[in-house]
A and B are shown apart, each in its own frame.
Chain A
Amino acid sequence: MITETAPPEARTERRHLDEGLVRNLGLVGVLIILVVIGIITRPELYSDPTWVRNNVLVILQQAAAIGVVTVGMTFVIIGGGIDLSVGAIIALSGVWATTLATQSYGAGGMIFTALVVGIAVGVVNGVLISYGKLVPFIATLAMLVSARGLAAQISGKQTQVSANDTINGIATTKLIGVPLLVWILALVVAAGWVLLNRTTFGRRTVAVGGNPEAARLAGINVKRHTLYLYALSGLCCGLGAIMLTSQATSAQAAMANLYELDAIAAAIIGGTLLSGGRGTIVGALFGVLVFSTITNLFAINNLSTEVQNMVKGGIIVAAVLIQQFRYRSLTQLLKR
């Protein structure tokens, strides 16, 4: 039974504020729990402040490339789509940027190539979906297969070592004690937040994902915007490819395997609605950090990746279940 106590205006406004906040607070809670588990299992490591500081940077550094990709993914999902090809785009961009021919143009040429290849593949996705009217799932699934195929073709299934010191140096450079990769992640997250919340591009994204017909009848070019969203995701993948190539000092067709799953999972855990129209960049960042922290937790306890994957799957389910439960109880609470 709905009994009104608070005036309705105040109630809805508060609910609107709380939703995002509580969700993010929940993820912070999960992060804290993970750290506490770390402290309990390896108290000797956590007693060393230098180790703790370095470990935090390691976690952030591991989150960097996937974090950048997740920002792009979040835009696509809010816009009502899905991009299953992000891992494959990274592989293709990375391989293309590290061919001997591209490497001869230096670091600038390699970066340029990776970004352009990423955008180009994103545009192909976008055209297929917007104008070819393919379902996003199918179009990007096909791209997942063929982009990796092309990457294998170009690289001849070989690992292509990067001989460029500037590229390789990105992963080892630090600014004010913080790795450059982490700075890049911070910059992309900040730019993503501004783009989503403060620009006409972001407003269109929410409108197109929330109610495409309403957006269309309000004069928004839905098809063109959808195309932009996949191009943006491709751009993020290109950037991610450079970061990963720098970390490994090489690229290969099998790189960034299953990144699409990690990125989608992080976005969803972060509160992005899979049906589109709602989502947050900050939530997505927390989602990435949760995964990265779990990986780290397993690494410092010397546990196998198999167990890690099982736990990851469990965490995804648990996080979404908890969120649904909390969302429901919160709305019920506010109705009272």
Chain B
Amino acid sequence: MTAAGESVTGEVVLRLTDVVKTFPGVRALDGVQLEVRAGEVHCLLGQNGAGKSTLIKVLAGVHHADDGEISWLGEPFAPATPQAAMRAGIATIYQELDLVDDLSVAENAFLGHERSRFGFTRRRSTAARTRQILGRLGHAEIPPRRAVRALPAAGKQIVSMARALSHDARLIVMDEPSAVLAHDEVANLFRIIRELTAQGIAVIYISHRLAEIREIGDRVTVLKDGRTTAANLPARTTPTRELVGKMTGRSIEYVFPPRRELTPTEPILVVEGLTRHGEFADASLAVAQGEIVGIAGLVGSGRSELLETIFGARRADAGTVTLAGRRITGVGSAVARGMGMAPEERKSQALLLDEPVYKNMTLASFAGFAHGGFTDARDERAASLKTADLLDLRPRDVDRPARTLSGGNQQKVVVGRWLLRGSKVGGTKLLLLDEPTRGVDVGARAELYQVIRGLAEDGVGVLLVSSEVPEVLGLADRVLVMREGRLVHEAPADELDEDTVLDLVMAGSLLEGEPT
């Protein structure tokens, strides 16, 4: 075992210089520097959207860099395909493990480079080789012929690593490997990582948990807005403040409409002890009329699940949701009592993409327009057009299919749906917004913020989830921080700053010893 030391002595295996990758409309990587040495655990740190995923996909041969230099083992490196990257010795273990559930452990380990003779797979030698690799990973107990489906999450991760080793990988990239693991499984993961690095294998480790980075990491590189803002910081000794500061130091300033003073009112939404096993536990919160409450949390913290459960779209294991004094038992009652939701996945959860905008806008209220079961398209169109004007929908055309709108305007359609319902059927009292500006460009964001603020000023309560901390801070009156299925902190937005919230979201170290 090597103690993860501060000084790394291995030679440089991977070096990225000024790597750039653009997608239509986005400069995902905008000058990334990275240096990884043999036998080290190099941690990549950055907020959502900082470019970590793009970076590892460039290394894995999924994306191709537009500019800059990558050298691997001293040679220029530009893998054309994932297979090429694998052959060169770079293996990537994605967060969503890319295993075939119905194939065996051995078949998965050698997927894509099956050991065969004359087209016949060599089952026996594959199994033997897999057993050997599993032994090297300290998991000789996993049977190579067992179907991957039957393994727990931790076991699947071992299989992913076995696949990496089956390629004789010299660099293994791990994207949030601990996200799917229980506490003791993480310890085991770390043991394996230490053994791998002792054999001279380099590891790029991505995690949001600072505690883990401190424990397993050797050096840290911080990304922000596609750029390297700090490279090769010592993982153990760099103060949290400095790390978080490097992650946030703003460049794009979002424009938020000014807050207005809230006159305290009775809460319209009261959530008590809401629990869904394995997703979130014991969530209690309240939203008042005209108040915007923001939930800050990472993907996987349980925030979207919490929102959907409040809306009745998921069944709670325990706890209650009341809206204006009435119990919410399902989506039907939530909508009937005046709740509306703009879900995270607009396209798959909210829109009828081939249908015209007005039918999408009236999806929650067309029955209110109908006379004796017959729909009233003219009335629906007129009302939709009015709502479109209110939200400044562009183009101002309610007959075009929803598919043809930009992301920001699609979001306006979804929000408009609940406004329209409020004005027609009566009383949209509470809006649940899950990542309202996801996939929305910067200009349109400001407009959406204006819309959301305007709704609140008209007395609608808003519960908002976002992984972008500045958005939560700029928009919400009150902020709840969610981490690993629990609401861990609550404070008025103007008492918080981005660093504090990020720290709470990731590690919660500031919280210790602090009364909540």
Tell me the residues in window 1-15 of chain A with beta carbons closer than 8 Å to chain B beta carbons.
8-9, 12-13
Instruction: Known contacts A214-B349, A214-B352; decide if A219 and B375 are in contact (CB<8 Å).
Output: no
A198 B363 Cβ-Cβ under 8 A: no
Mark interface residues in A4-43 (1 if CB within 8 Å of B CB, else 0): 0000110011001000000000000000000000000000
A1 CB, nearest partner CB in chain B, Å:
15
Given A16-B401, A207-B363, A211-B352, do A217 and B375 touch, yes or no (CB 8 Å)?
Answer: no
- B interface residues, tally (CB under 8 Å): 34
Asked if B379 lies at the interface with its beta carbon under 8 angstroms from chain A, I say no
Given A211-B351, A214-B350, CB of A219 within 8 Å of CB of B364: yes
Distance, CA A8 to CA B396, complexed state (A): 12
- Which of A12, A198, A202, A213 makes the CB contact (< 8 A) with B349? A213
Verify A207–B352 contact, CB threshold 8 A.
yes
A interface size (C-beta, 8 A): 26
Q: Are B348 and A217 in touch, CB under 8 angstroms?
A: no
Task: Determine whether A206 belongs to the interface, using a CB cutoff of 8 Å to chain B.
Answer: yes
CA distance A202 to B367 in the complex (A): 11
A210 contacts B by Cβ under 8 Å: yes
B-contact 0/1 string along A193-205, CB 8 Å cutoff: 0000011111100
User: Which of chain B's residues 238-274 have a Cβ closer than 8 Å to chain A?
Assistant: none
Is A122 engaged at the interface, CB distance under 8 Å to the other chain?
no
Q: Is A154's beta carbon under 8 Å from chain B?
A: no
Interface assignment of A176: CB less than 8 Å from any CB of chain B: no
- Is B356 touching A201 in the complex (CB atoms < 8 A)? no
Q: What separation, in Å, do the CA atoms of A334 and B275 have in the docked complex?
A: 52
With known contacts A8-B404, A16-B401, A219-B364, A213–B354 Cβ distance under 8 A: no
Question: Do A218 and B417 touch across chains, with their CB atoms under 8 A apart?
Answer: yes
Kindly provide the distance from the CB of A191 to the nearest chain B CB, expressed in whole angstroms: 13
With a cutoff of 8 Å between Cβ atoms, the chain A residues found around residue B397 in the complex are 9, 13
How far is B359's CA from A211's CA once the two chains are assembled, in angstroms?
13
The distance from the CB of A275 to the nearest CB of chain B, in whole angstroms, is 11
Q: Quick check: B343 and A217 within 8 Å, CB to CB? A: yes
B101 within 8 A of A: no
A/B pair count, beta carbons within 8 Å: 83
Residues A203 and B366 in contact, CB atoms below 8 Å apart: yes
How distant is B307 from chain A, measured CB to nearest CB, in Å? 11
B299 at the interface (CB under 8 A from A): no
Residue in A198, A221, A277, A278 whose beta carbon sits within 8 Å of that of B332 in the complex: A221
B352, A200: Cβ atoms under 8 Å?
no
Any B CB within 8 A of the CB of A216: yes
CB within 8 Å of A: which residues of B?
A: 311, 313, 331-332, 334-336, 341, 343, 348-356, 359, 363-364, 366-367, 370, 373-375, 395, 397, 399-401, 404, 417
5 contacts between A and B (CB under 8 A): A9-B397, A211-B350, A213-B349, A214-B349, A214-B350
5 residue pairs, one from A and one from B, having the closest CB atoms:
A219-B335, A218-B364, A218-B363, A210-B352, A12-B400
Extra inter-chain contacts (15) besides given A16-B400, A199-B373, A214-B363, CB under 8 Å: A8-B395, A9-B400, A12-B400, A12-B404, A199-B375, A206-B359, A210-B355, A214-B352, A216-B313, A217-B331, A217-B343, A218-B350, A218-B364, A218-B417, A219-B335
A interface residues with partner B (beta carbon < 8 Å)? 8-9, 12-13, 16, 198-203, 206-207, 210-211, 213-221, 277-278
